[in-house]
Amino acid sequence: MTLDARLHELGHAARTRRAQIIALTGVPIALAVCAWAAKVFGIWAAVVATPIALAIIVAFARRAMRAIDRAWIARRLDASRPQFEDSADLLFRDAALLSPLQQLQRVRLHERFEADPVAELKPAFPWRGLGLIWLIALIAIAAVGLWTPRPRVGAPADATVAVTASATRIERVQLDIAAPAYTNLPARTEPTLEARFAEGARIAWRLRFAPEPKSAALVFHDGSRIDLSHRSNEWNGERLLQASALYRIVLEGAPPLEDDRLHRLDVIADHAPEVRVTQPEKSLTLLEEGQHEWDLDFEASDDYGIGAANLTITLAQGTGENIAFKEQTLALNGEDIEADGSHRHLRYRHRLDLSALGIAKGDDVIVRLAVSDNRAPQANTTKSASFILRWPPEESSDSVGMEGIVEKTMPAYFRSQRQIIIDTETLIGEQPPLSEEHLLARSDGIGVDQKILRLRYGQFLGEEFETRSEPENPAAEQAKDGKTDARADALTSHEHESVRQHAQKFGDVGQVMAEYGHVHDVAEAATLIDPETKAILKSALNEMWQSELHLRQGRPTEALPFERKALEYIKQVQQSTRIYLARVGLELPVVDEGRRLSGDRKGVGDRDTALASADGDDAVPAALWRELEAPGAVDLEPFERWVHAHASGLPDALTLLAASDRVRRDPACAECRNQLRNALWPLLSVPATAASLRIAPDAPGRAYLDAIGAKPAVGAEAR
């Protein structure tokens, strides 16, 4: 036998042994699983579980056999024969591809293998581990054979379970649930009396009792009733449910049921679609220069699938009361985002042609997406917020024709950034004939105005409010108008003198900070402005700093660009503080001409009785809550009527009715009474708070109060 044939035989034997070990390990486990399935679910479950278990064992065996390859055989040869010098892998390689040294080593290994052949490489049987596995499996099979499972509601009862003459047993329960067609949910069967299903599903009951009653019915919590029909030893009935319900099985001509409690059917409501707007990002978008199109991007999702999507486009033209509207509606087709094609998550994209709409300056284009689902008979519809594209109107001046009436002098204490720009432009135009000192004085005066305005805006960012506003150049101070100095000092003073007039106390932090310090980061200013607006305002202050720097140095030409940039930032801040609403027209209610001037007041409310007095709406739950605290029978009828009357305003009316029914069936059940009290607790009003008397002090506390000269609280002595 050649070397290759001998190595192949060794590998085959090792693979066979590995498969045998896997089989001896998996067979007892499979037998225990099949025995359990047959005991719990019946013989058919064992028939199905047997081939599945065998397939799993075969898969593990094949995987273990594939792990024995040439590298595995080489490692075993090196481990079993030291004379192979960890070079057994050379026996499996092509000699023509080896180096001369490797070829020499391969020849030496071949000679050693022929001189001392390897008998076998297959692993030994782990008899101890296999014996332990078989022992555990046999014990499990014996335990399954001796175990008697508890009868399940909805499953065929075992023949060994005796039927008592005093109670009727439900031998079989089957609920066939058929969801509405628009949900695309498959029909399913539940072996229980309680289930959760989609709104509008049709539920069919199939029940089997032992002993057989003369008649059977399902009685619901709202008083409705379904009489079951008897066909082929089964009692059948069906109902279309739009809301959650409680029901009980009522039998006639047979003993009562072993479990006659209320059963709950929960309806999963069909929610309206959710709409998310990706583009535009803001509710108001200003039309840019040269823009002819407006890109819109929406996303919508629904629990069962989206039906139609309509985009309403409104063009608002005009101002004041003369506003004209043009409205049109477009049906959009969405792209399915999810790969399953269920239409539960769609994306809508649309590019609006502004030229076709006929938009002009001062007009608004208002868009709004309405998405509906497939709910029948009435679909759920969700509308997105309105988004506005505005073409800003041309700027107009309110002072046209009023130059001789309106005073042009602006109060010194209310200088604006626009006024500073006007003053700077005027100074630049008058600059050539002015002397250097006069130019510096006027430029420095504008710089003071810029500083005052900067400090006013800086207060909103928590910046320090400086104590003086003195010019950098003394000569410029002498040339300035005295009123400007007084204005600057009055607006920028911290009024430290008034603080110094008060008596100072050693260690008074407030007075020390008032006299020698400055307050930063005003809480009101720090919280009333959003971060984006703060960033824009900081940019405006930086431009004001640069403008002030050049103005105080007598260079108005270099300061003008910074002043204009600061004005742009201020306008952005003012723009961010506005709330933009879509322009709408006046829509008056339709006048009923038949009742006009007839004096008919039918349907017209009285203003005097418009507000109803508040009453104690929790009186019934509170009374029942107090009754349940003491043992004994309680009257549950008023409470159940109260629950039916207020079902729409309660968080879970069915839980209250179910808890009340348990107390009715077993008034002595302490656990049932506690469950009902716990369910009533959220319905009770929160009592008004009241001041309580202070607890009387003990001996150490009284000694402490006597030491500090304090008196006990009123009422403490009585305690």
DSSP annotation string for 615-663: --TTHHHHHHHHHHHSSS----HHHHHHHHHTGGGSS-HHHHHHHHHHH
Beta strands, E only, 169-320: 169-178, 188-190, 195-198, 201-210, 215-220, 225-227, 229-231, 234-241, 245-252, 263-268, 274-279, 284-286, 293-301, 306-319
CA–CA dist 256, 170 (Å, integer): 11
Residue 505 lies in a domain: no
Q: What pLDDT does 15 receive?
A: 80
User: Does the pLDDT at position 488 exceed 70?
Assistant: no
Q: What pLDDT does 74 receive?
A: 73
Comparing 402 with 697, the larger pLDDT belongs to: 697
Q: Is 139 in the same domain as 7?
A: yes
- Which strands, in side-by-side order, build the sheet including 293-301? 274-279, 293-301, 345-353, 335-336
Q: What pLDDT does 66 receive?
A: 79
Residue 589 lies in a domain: no
> pLDDT exceeding 90 applies to what percent of the chain?
22
Q: What pLDDT does 665 receive?
A: 85
Q: What pLDDT does 415 receive?
A: 55
Residues 231-237: what's their mean pLDDT? Answer: 89
Q: What pLDDT does 400 receive?
A: 43
Hey, which of 165-169, 239-243, 685-689 has the most confident mean pLDDT? Answer: 239-243
Q: Is 18 in the same domain as 112?
A: yes
Q: Are strands 169-178 and 284-286 parallel, antiparallel or unpaired?
A: unpaired
Residue 309 lies in a domain: yes
Local confidence band at 406 (pLDDT 50, 70, 90 cut-offs) = very low
Q: Is 465 in the same domain as 530?
A: yes
Identify the weakest region by mean pLDDT among 132-136, 161-165, 370-374, 615-619: 161-165
Query: pLDDT of 292-325, one tens digit each?
Result: 999 999 999 998 889 899 999 998 887 765 678 8
Residue 246 lies in a domain: yes
Query: pLDDT of 68-112, one tens digit each?
Result: 777 777 777 767 766 666 666 666 666 677 777 777 777 777 776
Local confidence band at 13 (pLDDT 50, 70, 90 cut-offs) = confident
Q: What pLDDT does 549 receive?
A: 92
Q: What pLDDT does 19 receive?
A: 82
User: Does the pLDDT at position 143 exceed 90?
Assistant: no
Local confidence band at 395 (pLDDT 50, 70, 90 cut-offs) = low
Q: What pLDDT does 283 receive?
A: 85
Q: Is 185 in the same domain as 57?
A: no
Q: Which residues contact residue 70 at a Cβ distance below 8 angstroms, ignoring those fewer than 6 apart? A: 11, 89, 92
Residue 597, by phi and psi: left (phi above 0), alpha (psi -120 to 50) or beta?
Answer: left
Residue 294 lies in a domain: yes
CA–CA dist 168, 209 (Å, integer): 7
Q: What pLDDT does 607 receive?
A: 56
Three-state secondary structure call for residue 355: helix
Find out whether 209 and 193 touch, Cβ atoms under 8 Å. Answer: no
Q: What pLDDT does 330 receive?
A: 92
Chain centroid to CA 548: 49
Residue 96 lies in a domain: yes
Local confidence band at 716 (pLDDT 50, 70, 90 cut-offs) = very low
Residue 705 lies in a domain: no
Comparing 470 with 694, the larger pLDDT belongs to: 694
Q: Is 316 in the same domain as 354?
A: yes
Q: What pLDDT does 244 receive?
A: 92
Q: Is 24 in the same domain as 114?
A: yes
Q: Is 203 in the same domain as 66?
A: no
**Mean pLDDT score of the chain, rounded to an integer?**
77
Local confidence band at 117 (pLDDT 50, 70, 90 cut-offs) = low
Residues 676-692: what's their mean pLDDT? Answer: 76
Rounded to 10 deg, the angle between the 100-115 and 3-41 helix axes is 70
Q: Is 257 in the same domain as 362?
A: no
CA–CA dist 63, 264 (Å, integer): 49
Q: Look-up: residue for tokens 């481990």?
A: 79
Find out whether 305 and 184 touch, Cβ atoms under 8 Å. Answer: yes
Q: Which residues contact residue 551 at a Cβ distance below 8 angstroms, ignoring those fewer than 6 apart? A: 424, 443, 444, 446, 447, 450, 559
Q: Is 322 in the same domain as 423?
A: no
Q: What pLDDT does 3 receive?
A: 64
Identify the weakest region by mean pLDDT among 123-127, 463-467, 661-665: 463-467
Q: Is 561 in the same domain as 472?
A: yes
User: Does the pLDDT at position 132 exceed 80?
Assistant: yes
Query: pLDDT of 206-227, one tens digit each?
Result: 999 988 899 999 999 888 999 9
Find out whether 179 and 187 touch, Cβ atoms under 8 Å. Answer: yes
User: Does the pLDDT at position 154 exceed 50?
Assistant: no
Residues 371-394: what's their mean pLDDT? Answer: 89
Residues 430-435: what's their mean pLDDT? Answer: 85
Three-state secondary structure call for residue 58: helix
User: Does the pLDDT at position 181 exceed 80?
Assistant: yes
Domain edge (last residue) among 83, 111, 146: 146
Three-state secondary structure call for residue 528: helix
Query: pLDDT of 547-572, one tens digit each?
Result: 999 999 999 999 999 999 999 988 88
Domain edge (last residue) among 222, 248, 268: 268
Local confidence band at 340 (pLDDT 50, 70, 90 cut-offs) = confident
Query: pLDDT of 504-517, one tens digit each?
Result: 444 444 454 444 44
Q: Is 258 in the same domain as 303?
A: no
Identify the weakest region by mean pLDDT among 112-126, 142-156, 350-364, 436-450: 142-156
Q: Which H/E stretch holds residue 565?
A: helix 556-576
CA–CA dist 242, 247 (Å, integer): 15
Q: What pLDDT does 525 receive?
A: 47
Residue 316 lies in a domain: yes
Q: Is 253 in the same domain as 294?
A: no
Residue 217 domain boundaries: 169-268
CA–CA dist 495, 515 (Å, integer): 9
Query: pLDDT of 21-62, one tens digit each?
Result: 888 888 888 888 888 888 777 777 778 888 888 888 888 888
Per the structure, the count of domains in the chain is 5
Domain edge (last residue) among 93, 111, 146: 146
